[in-house]
Amino acid sequence: MTATTDQDAALRIASGRKPFVEPLRLGERLREIRLAHQWTLEDVSQRTGLARSTLSKIENDQISPTFTAVQKLIAGLGIDLPQLLSPPRQQARTNGRRDLTRRGQGELHPTPTYEHELLSCELAQKRMIPFKTIVRARRFEEFSEWVRHDGEEFLMVLEGEILLYTEFYEPLRLESGDSIYFDSDMGHALVSTSREDAVVLSVCTRGEAA
């Protein structure tokens, strides 16, 4: 398995997205949107080109719309897909959620090159993914390919010293306390250069639709 998929998998798990497919009350959500705009089924029908009856069935979960139908929906309603798929958005904002992770109590995800400790992994639906990493790699050649994933990444060296290899820059030496922010779809890879394996704290943004 490649370094990329490892990291991706780790991030996906960390992101708190349930591995199963969510119930996804798409119909319910559609009705919600429609009523919020004070639209009738006929209005939506004209906007989307879908038959009134079809819309009714979708809202009542009697049929599972075709993907082309979904496209017509998002085009006609002027919304984007993530919006259609995020029912719990409404007041998930002022929840006052929190998730504590004591030192060393994160979820471990070892790979040949990195040893990740995912922090705050109790919390689903978060916009950032924090994790602490022990950098086991000692040479750039240990990576079969660039690590890359959508979004942005912030990184601070907690202990030791590392060399940050990136696709478009010369390798960069980072010591304890140094930090860097970069676009993480640019290939990147870390190796420890201190005697002890270096420890870094990373925070990635969660992938969002383009």
Partner DNA sequence: GAAACCTGTTTCCTATAGTGAACACGCCGC
Partner DNA sequence: GCGGCGTGTTCACTATAGGAAACAGGTTTC
CA–CA dist 30, 36 (Å, integer): 10
CA–CA dist 176, 160 (Å, integer): 6
Of 38 and 105, nearer to DNA (C-beta) is 38
| Cβ-contact 58, 24 below 8 angstroms | no
- 52 binding partner (options DNA, a copy of itself, none; Cβ < 5 to 8 Å by kind): DNA
Q: Shortest approach of a copy of itself to residue 142 CB, angstroms?
A: 21
Residues 51-90 touching a copy of itself, rule: CB under 8 A, are: 64-68, 70-72, 74-75, 78-83, 85-86, 88-89
Point out which span in 6-14, 59-67, 131-139, 188-196 binds DNA (CB under 7 A). 59-67
CA–CA dist 76, 60 (Å, integer): 20
For DNA, the binding residue among 43, 150, 178, 183 (CB under 7 A) is: 43
Of 5 and 40, nearer to DNA (C-beta) is 40
Residue 170 touching a copy of itself (CB under 8 A): no
Residue 27 touching DNA (CB under 7 A): no
Non-local CB neighbours of 114 within 8 Å, separated by 6+ positions: 6, 7, 133, 134, 135, 136, 137, 190
Residue 66's alpha-carbon distances to 21, 24, 54, 61, 200, in angstroms, are: 17, 15, 11, 13, 45
Of 31 and 188, nearer to DNA (C-beta) is 31
| Best CA proximity match to 75, nearest among 41, 115, 44 | 44
Point out which span in 56-64, 74-82, 91-99, 126-134 binds DNA (CB under 7 A). 56-64
Residue whose tokens read 């798409």? 26
For DNA, the binding residue among 49, 82, 88, 110 (CB under 7 A) is: 49
- Binding letters toward a copy of itself, positions 185-204, x by CB under 8 A: xx--------------x-x-
Residue whose tokens read 């998998």? 9
Which residues bind to DNA, rule: CB under 7 A? 40-43, 49-54, 56-60, 62-66, 68-69
